[in-house]
Every structure is written in structure tokens, then in C-alpha cells.
Amino acid sequence: MEDRRRTAYHEGGHAIVGMLTEGADPVRKVSIIPRGMALGVTFAAPESDRFNYSEPEIQAKINVALGGRAAEEIVFHEVTTGAANDLEKVTSTSKSMIMRFGMSEKLGPRVFGHDHGQPFLGREFSAEPDYSDEIAREIDDEIRRIVEAAHQRAKDLLTEYRGELGTISEILVKRETIEKEEFEGLLAGKTEEEVFGREDVPVPVPPPAAPEVPERKPERGPAPLPRPGLAGGTAE
């Protein structure tokens, strides 16, 4: 039960940050039903196919990815291994921002590293550095700066919406899945009853009344026979 609750807060953190971060892909559904190795999932997808993202939109993705870990830190004051996949995505995305997309003011519009493939030798693609150790340290510093800033933004946002995080996560524990419109309603402050409707509460049925038994009158025996000498006239 504790893992289930942690998962609900983790996914709730992703979803709230996704809903409130400008440039993030819209959240479609939140679920804590296990799928493969994942204990829960937050479905987010753009309105249409996207092949080009701006720097703020990529930063928004990093913010959302760190929302689950931030929620665990705020509520449970510790983190679990459940954020491992999120951290892999965050590290890879921030690295691409610096090394492939030139999205660093400090390092400028440059690409670092060249990919060389040797398929005929049966070797995997490998990255060959074309920069100095000093540049490598600057790249690491920039990646750390991006990740730490996104982590802090996620924590600040979830701290501000701490009450909504608790309400939504506890509902998620009970219902397992929350759709987009339902999530938006809860985040806007609506009650669970307003969002999901009044639950059908069974009306207790009183036990059937005992059948009425007609009152039995005592049976009368045969009329007593007249005593001799008393029937008709008077005795002499």
C-alpha cells in the first residue's frame, strides 16, 4: 500500500508540473496501474506531431520529468529508485541541449563530439571527443545548471500546490486512473464529487416484516348438557 501511495504522489507530481508549465505537452491521463517495469505512468502528448522544439519547450520537458522526484522529496522527504528512468531522460536531454543543439550561452552555438560508425567491423557507434578537458568540465557544469534549475522549479511549483498534490494523489490511490478533464477539474479546486459525480450509495433495505398471524380465539367446547330436573318447569 505504501508503494502504491508513493507512486500516486510521484505521478501526481509529473502531472501537476506538466499541467502548469508553459510549453509542456498536454497531460492526457494519469495512472498508477503497473505496466511492465513501470509502477505508474503519466501520458502526455502534443496536439499534433512535432519534429521541432524550442529551448523553453525542451526545458519544460525536463521540468516535468523531475516533477515525480520533487513530489517524493516534498511529501516523503526522501527519494526512491522509481525516478531512475526520469533521471536518465533528464541527463540525456540536457546533454543534447548543450552538445547538439547549441543551447548554452556560455558555450555558444557549437556541436561537441562526432559520431563515427563502423558497421562493417561490427562495432557500435561511439562518440569521439573533439574538445579539451576544460571544455568537458564546462559542459558538465552547464548540464548540472540546467538540471538543478529545473529541479528547483518543479519543487517550487509543487510546494505552491501542495494541497492539490495531496488531494489528487489520494484520489489516484483510490481510483487508479484520472483522465485529462477530471485532472483539470481537481486542479482547479473542484471536489471529487463535483468531478466524478455522486457515487451510488446503496440504500439499506429494512428486513421484511413478519407476516401477521390472525389472533386465535380460544376454541369453545360443546355446550354443556342440561342438568336433569332443571329443563322446563320447576321441580316438585
Q: Which residues are catalytic?
A: 11
The residues that bridge with 133 in the sheet, in sequence order, are none
Listed in sequence order, the DSSP H helices in the chain are 2-20, 55-65, 67-76, 84-99, 133-160, 162-175, 180-187, 192-196
- DSSP letter for each residue of 81-111: GGGHHHHHHHHHHHHHHHHTS---TTT-S--
Cα–Cα distance for residue pair 65/95, rounded to 1 Å: 15
In terms of Cα–Cα distance, which of 58, 60, 68 is closest to 22?
60
The residue assigned the cell 446503496 is: 202
Cα–Cα distance for residue pair 229/65, rounded to 1 Å: 118
